[in-house]
Every structure is written in C-alpha cells, then in structure tokens.
Amino acid sequence: MTRFDVRLAFRLHRFEVIGFVVLITLLTVAALITAAQLDATGYGAHCWDGTQTPGCEAMGRAFWGLQQTQAPMVQGILVMLPFLFGVLVGAPLVARELERGTSRLAWSLAPSRFRWYLVRVVPGVVVVFAFALVAGLALDRLLGAIEPRTDMANAFDGFGGRGVVLAARATFALALGVAIGSVMGRVLPALIVTAVIAFVGIAGGSYVHGKWLASEAVWVVTDTGTGNLGDLFFDQRVRLADGSVMTWDQVYAAYPSTDASSGGPPPGSRTEALVVSGTRYGFVQAREVGALAGASVVALGIGAFTVGRRRPG
Amino acid sequence: MAVALEAQGIGKRYRRGRPWALRDVDLAIPVGSITALVGPNGAGKSTLIKGYVGFERPTAGRLLVDGIDPWRDRGAAIRRVGYVPQAASLYRELSVSDHLALAARFRPAFDRPMAKLRLAQLDIPLDVSADELSGGQQAQVGLAIALGTRAPVLLLDEPLASLDPLARREFLHIMVDAVRETGATALLSSHVITDIEQACDRLLVLGGGRKLLDLSIAEARATHRVTDEGEATGGGRVVGRFPGPLGERLALVAGEGTRGRPATLEEIVLGHLAAGRVRPIQATGEVAA
C-alpha cells in the first residue's frame, strides 16, 4: 500500500468521503461543545445527593435545558452518521468500478485481483473506522456529560451508540457494502440492499446479544430497583419478608389496593433487579466488537472471493 | 511455428440451456502475427478475447496465452497480455498521467516514458482528466497503456467501434508500428473490415460461436474469388452467396482453377458468414449486427 494507492482510492470516492468527514467532524465538534456546556452548568452529583447548594436550581435549569434539546439532537445525528458513512463508502467501493467498467482496465493490468481489492478496500476501512471511532469517542464524552454521575467506562448507557462499538458497526456496514457491491456490480441497488441488510443485521445482532446478555444477568438488591448506575437492566421482582419472590403483577394481585391501603408489597419487602453489572461493560463491548470484526472479515472475504471469480462488469 | 494464443476445443455458454457463445473452437495464433478477429455481434469475438484475459471462464476446452491457461494461472497470463477493451474504461476522476502511474503500479515493467512519448506525439495532454478527452483520445490512452505494458500479446476488443475514420486509421497505425517494432502478437476484433485490411496479416472469422475461417490474409486472397451468382466457377467450390453493393447476387468461390475476379477481404468475410448462415449480412464494409 503506497501513498499513490491511498490517493487513488480517495480520488475515486472523494465526494462521499469529504462529505462525511466534514459532517462527522462538525458534529463531533458540536458534541464536544455541548459536553463542555453541560459541564459548565456545574450541575453535578452534589445537586442530586440531597446536599443541594443554593445554585442547584439555576444550574439544573441550564443543564436540563441543554440535556433535553441540544444534546439529543447532536447525539441523534452523530450516532447515525458512521453507519451511513459505512454504507455509502462500502457499497460503491467495488460496485462503482464494475458499473463504470473501469475494473476491465484495472483487472487487465493487475496480475492479482486480490491485491487490487486490498488497495481499494483497506483505505476505505481505515477512514471509516477512524472517523466512526472519533464520532464514537465524542459520543462517549457527550453521554458522560449528560449523565455526570455515571462512569461511562463502566456503564451500559447508550450501548452500541458510542465508543468503539459504533466504529465497529460502521466498519461492518462498510464490509457488507463491499461484499454486496461486489456481487451486484451496481451502485444504487447495492446501496439500498446494503442499508437494509446492515440495519437488519445490526438490529438482529443487538437483539441476539441482548438475549445473550439477559442470560448472564443476575438479581441484585438496590435502592433504585433498577440496579446501580450504569447497569444493564432487564427485569424487576419483589422479595417479600418471608423470602418468597413475586412479580409486580403477582404482588398487586395478592395485595390489591383497598380503601385502607394503596396496595403493593407489604412492609419488609425488597425490590430486586435483574441486571448485568456496568462493570462488565468493557468485556461486553469487546465481545460485540469482536463479533462485528469477525462478521466484517467474513463479508470482506466474500467480497474478495467474488472479485476473484466474477466478470469485470 | 511458435504459438502465442491457443484455443483447444473451446466452448462457452453463459447459462445452462442458453445457446453456446463459442463452440468447439480450435486456434493457434502464431507469434508476431496481427490477427483480425471478425464476425457479427454475438459471434463470440469478445467472449474469446475476454477468455484470454481471464475475464470469462470457458465452459469447455481451454485457452492458452504463451502456453499459460489464464483461468488456472491468471497472474502469469495477465502479465503476458496488454488489453484494450471495447470502451476505453478509463477512470474519469483520474488524469492521463494518473492512469500511467496506475499501470506502472500494477506492472513494474510498465514503460512509462514510452507511453508518455506516444501520447505526446498525439498531442494528448497528460494533466487532463480522462472525461475531458474525446473518444478517440481515450482509445489512444487505452492503447498507450496496453503498449506500455510491453506485453508479448496484445488483445484489442473492438477498440475502433466508437472512433471516426481518421481516429481509427491513427489508432491502427500506432498499433501496427508498435507490434512490428516489438515483435508482439496482436488479436484485433472489429466489425470494420476495410480498416483492418491494411493492418492485419491473419484473418479469423467467427460466426454463431464457431470458427468459419482461419488463415493468413495473403492466403485468403490467393484462394478466394468472386463471381456473379449463376456464373461458371471453374474448378472452385462456392463458399457462400451474398448481396453486392448494388443488390446483385455474388458468390464467393474457393479452390484451384477458380474463375472470377479476386475477392476483397470484405467479400471473403461476407461469403464465409453467409456459408455459416449466422446472420443476415450486407456489403457495406461492416458486418451487420
């Protein structure tokens, strides 16, 4: 891989690359500014833990104002960009050459199509992963500011929509686009099919991973009833004073509201939460990134195999 | 006779149940020759050339480039081939100079100075992007790249199709000069018989996926004559009948002691295509699509 290869790959896809790099950069800056603005309100843990300072109300107004308007808007756009970047760079990477027929020239010159493929794909993978990671880290920072009490390195808040997982998902979308583009050889159909399959694949993968995580969850007793801050919450139940366990439906059936009582669990009951501890976030994140990396390698392998066997369009 | 391009019982069918694009074709194109590959659309010309570049996998038989099967060892076969596709296939985002750099990137032996010189002689600027070039200039860039590879075999897949007569002549002139200079072998497919007449020394006619004629142009001229239909043919046999430019019926006759006037290359091709009954044909200098 030489500078010429990188320059060539860039020139062939400069519009989508420049467009997304500019957008991601702008949104990243916006996310960091929003995070700094949230921090600057001074609305921190001391305003929640009962030892409120006199300024907490004003700080809270400023904080919640940002947290409910500007922050979700920046987060909502920035979280989608890496995925779209992956699709819009990945699908045309090979498909455009097949559609325009430039692959005929390139493949008649290149003794190894695999090398040609690498020269096309590697710069795409690097630029999409790098900028998606920048976006993911900016979102880490933004979510940390939105939830100042939570240690984002040990929290499932925004899982999949921040950090390295976001970059892995964008890279998976790119790899899928490369494979589909190699098979279809047409840019627009490849873009549409990639967007649909990547979305379904990521959503399906998240669903399966969620089920897997649910099987790893444990019951804990916490004041909040939903686990500690940063835990991944699945379910809640009530442990009565005699040690028996009930769901909330069972509790309200057994202890209905009456004129004399508002119903609910009897005194001495405790709420238990089914959670995956936030301390497992790093491991779970690594596992999802590993799975996405594996899927990406398989998709890129399919692309390489197809390029090696197919007609040049 | 050393052979540069070989076909052994080659057959190609794109899908099961579809007609054969090529069927039972045996070829041996000698080193140093410039062979015109002629036939109507669907005759199998592009399929044959793409097979040599490793773009199409034969359904039956095998192709050899310098003794190498492109489907078994594509890398080695590609290194021996310079290919000019039907459409120039240039990257419109890249300059001409970038294309030469790209070629050099893939082929370390690429002769960039020679390619630049050829393009400079044609007043084709190196710093303009490919989409700013005319069709003829794009074809010349494609040819310069193919020649710059210094490959011993040149495969030209109807590169003249979209060129005006002057550009066609210029293209052929450069191609022939380069091939003669390097001793390379060229296989040039074209519809335009009159243009390739001067450039080529061998004639290969395909029709309906089959080989209809394969011999040197000198031999073809020496052994074929044309008579009006119904006229005595002497000792020759009638190869095929076809309409003349004025609508008259002509017959292509081959063999010893044949009567009639000498056949032009176009008439030889038309007569053999008529014999193969591959397509309706017309004597306009082009094989009808």
- Residue A267: pLDDT band by 50, 70, 90 thresholds? confident
Whether the pLDDT of residue B281 is over 50: the answer is no
pLDDT tens profile A10-40: 888 888 899 999 999 999 999 999 999 998 8
Contacts of B76 in chain A (CB under 8 A): 111
- 8 Å CB contact of B106 and A116: yes
Residue B257 has pLDDT above 60, yes or no: yes
CA-closest candidate to residue A181, choices A124, A221, A133, A230: A124
Contact between A173 and A198 under an 8 Å Cβ cutoff? The reply is yes
Select from B212, B214, B167, B246 the least CA-distant residue to B3: B214
Alpha carbon distances (Å) from B29 to A20, B5, B143, B203: 52, 5, 21, 10
Q: How far apart are CA B242 and CA B280, in angstroms?
A: 9
Whether residues A101 and B56 touch (CB distance < 8 A) is answered with no
Distances (CA, A) of B15 to A101, A144, A292: 22, 58, 36
**Cβ-based contacts of A5 with chain B (< 8 Å):** 105
E strand segments, chain A: 218-221, 232-239, 245-246, 270-276
Task: Tell me the CA distances in angstroms from B32 to B97, B155, B180, B265, one per residue in order.
Answer: 30, 13, 8, 21
Touching B: A residues 11-40, CB under 8 Å: 11-12, 14
Task: Cite the DSSP H helix spans in B55-95.
Answer: 74-79
Alpha helices in chain B (DSSP H): 45-53, 74-79, 96-106, 112-121, 135-148, 165-182, 193-199, 217-223, 265-276
* pLDDT of residue A111 exceeding 60: yes
Q: How confident is the model at residue A259 (pLDDT cuts 50, 70, 90)?
A: confident
3-state helix, strand, coil in chain B (%, to 5): 35, 30, 35
Sheet holding B210-216, edge to edge: B81-84, B153-157, B185-190, B34-38, B202-207, B210-216
- What pTM did the predictor assign? 0.85
B126-150 as b/e, with b when 16 or more CB fall inside 10 Å? eeebbeebeebbbbbbbbbbbbbbe
Q: Can you tell me the distance from the alpha carbon of A242 to that of A250, in angstroms, rounded to the nearest whole number?
A: 15
- Give the span between the Cα atoms of A88 and A174, in whole angstroms: 8
Q: Which of B102, B110, B145 to mutate to test the interface with A (most CBs of A within 10 A)?
A: B102
For residue B99, which residues of chain A lie inside 8 Å, CB to CB? 105
Look at residue B233 in the predicted model and tell me its pLDDT. Answer: 61
Q: Which among A14, A102, A311 has the least Cβ separation from residue B89?
A: A102
CB-nearest to B55 from A11, A116, A312 is A312
Cβ burial of B201 (10 Å; 0-12, 13-18, 19+) is middle
The ipTM (two decimal places) reads 0.85
Residue A107 in contact with partner chain B when CB distance is under 8 A:
yes
Higher pLDDT, A119 or B162: A119
Residue with tokens 């995580």: A213
- Average pLDDT of chain B is 86
pLDDT score at B282: 38
Residues in chain A within 8 Å Cβ distance of B83: 104, 108
pLDDT band at residue B288 under the 50/70/90 scheme: very low
Q: Measured between CA atoms, how close is B84 to chain A, in angstroms?
A: 8
User: Of A4, A11, A104, which is closest to B105 when you measure between CB atoms?
Assistant: A4
pLDDT in tens, B140-156: 899 899 999 999 999 99
Tell me if chain B has a CB within 8 Å of the CB of A106. Answer: yes
What percent of chain A lies above the pLDDT cut of 90? 53
Q: In whole angstroms, what is the distance from residue B154 CA to residue B136 CA?
A: 19
Given CB atoms, is A102 within the 8 Å cutoff of chain B? yes
How large is the C-alpha radius of gyration of chain B? 20
Looking at residues B39-60, what average pLDDT do you find?
A: 90
Q: Facing residues of A238 across strands?
A: A246, A271
Phi-psi domain of B260 (left: phi exceeds 0; alpha: psi -120 through 50; beta: other): left
